[in-house]
Structure 1
Amino acid sequence: MEINLLTDTFELWKGKNGFANTPHEHADWYQVTLPVQGTCDLLQNRQTYLLQPGEGLLQHPGTEHSFQVGALAAVIVIKFRGSLLNHKSLGGSQEYRLARNFNPEEITELFRNWSYELLGNETDALMVQQMEFQVQLYLERLLQDDGESDRPGLHNSVSRPYTSDPHMIRVIDYLHTCYRTAVDIESMAAIALQSRYHFIRSFKQLTQLTPYQYVLRLRIDEAGKRLRLSEESVTDISFSLGFSSVTQFYRTFLRLKGMTPAQYRKLTKI
């Protein structure tokens, strides 16, 4: 483990090359665990998660957790106090969750830049304030406040992006029609009249998501509606929306909604 940045409000460090720790908890710190290379086996509240690069998890204060990474793997951890993001309810406790998958290349580059800028300047108050602001901005994009919605777990709904490109409009229409079935990049790229490479770049620039992430959000949005409005079983919902297994559906739902399908149904049932 190498601790790179430490201030009164956040701590940023990187674990790699077989790093592992024992189960522990933080009394007054939040933590986001962000695998950037290889896989990360994370144990949280006695449940194991096999995280890939781009798949992060949030640990609230008091949450028991531990993780280990492989010999060629790496994970970046950001610990922060609630005061770093507590703009709206000073003095109150906040409940946050991951808003979306993250970009491993982006946080790796940020980690490198922050380490370089702060190294040797830990006593420079202005530098520390600037760094706290940058970390705050990143966390605000990565996390969202669960108090911002009357219904829990409804933050990751997909909004149709605006574009004047008729071919990309056709792609979006195609996804909103066919997301329950298997879709592939080649078909979408053909509709967009672009190469596979340029289509992926264009799509992410338009939606801020990869095509796969966009489809997953459409499926989870529909799953949420069915959980609220119907008596369908989780298994039936899972397979009718194109998931390869109930386990995949469960993990995706938990990551995007911040709770299990059963918890979501209990809290939002109409």
Structure 2
Amino acid sequence: MQIQLTLPQVEIVQIVNRFENILHSHEGHFQMTIPTHGTCYFTHENKQIALTPGEALLLNPSDRHCFHMGDDAGVIIAIARGDRFHVAPPGERDEAALRKWIEPGIVKAYFRRWMDLAFEHPNVELLAAQESETRILDDLQQLMWGGEGRRQLDTEQKRRFSPSDRHLMEAMEYLRAHYTESIKIDDAAAIALQSRFHFIRSFKAATGYSPYQYVLHLRVEEAKRLLLRTSHTVTEISFILGFSTPSQFYRVFEKSVLATPEQYRNGK
């Protein structure tokens, strides 16, 4: 059995029970393999490795590998683009750093959270997909390198970028000006002079919203105005505001307002 989540920069796969693949590599992508139960028999660059639950293996781009396992085993695999995944904190970039022990229960909890992200936005907009993959990549960093890795990344980001309130405000104004359009998180982060990772965290710290949640907030507020002051249909409003489908608009509006668009329009 396989469950898969695919986003532009990262792919997450859970495989349970008997599985076998052939020798291959992922050009330009890192792969993290974490057995959750049973034994995963791994071949990495012609070296045989028996991975037991919690023994995480991080492969560099172009590493040739394959694995097989029986009916009593399962793994969670993350494949991420090289330019979106930090290999290791400074001083840990040797072969020994490719293997880490991670509590299987924690990995499973993270996996459930990643699947929730996918189900939260079934009709994925670009900004939502980018936020989700950023959160997943951030989680992967935390899983692989722990608190020290998170501190290293934060320190590097703060040293590289010199964020100020003015730049963050300019990014917020950019979102306000384009909230009905397809927004790229990297465009807003560049305005704030921050990386994608740091921008999402600093924006939420400043506003209480993630960038995508803020866009949805702006859309809902404008929807309320349009429902009360225009004769546009609910379907028309959903497309005016940039929702991918009317059903997505219904879901977001009702969750925020605790009423359907029609109920809100009729004052119920």
What TM-score, normalized to structure 2? 0.47
Who wins on radius of gyration, i.e. which is larger?
Answer: 2
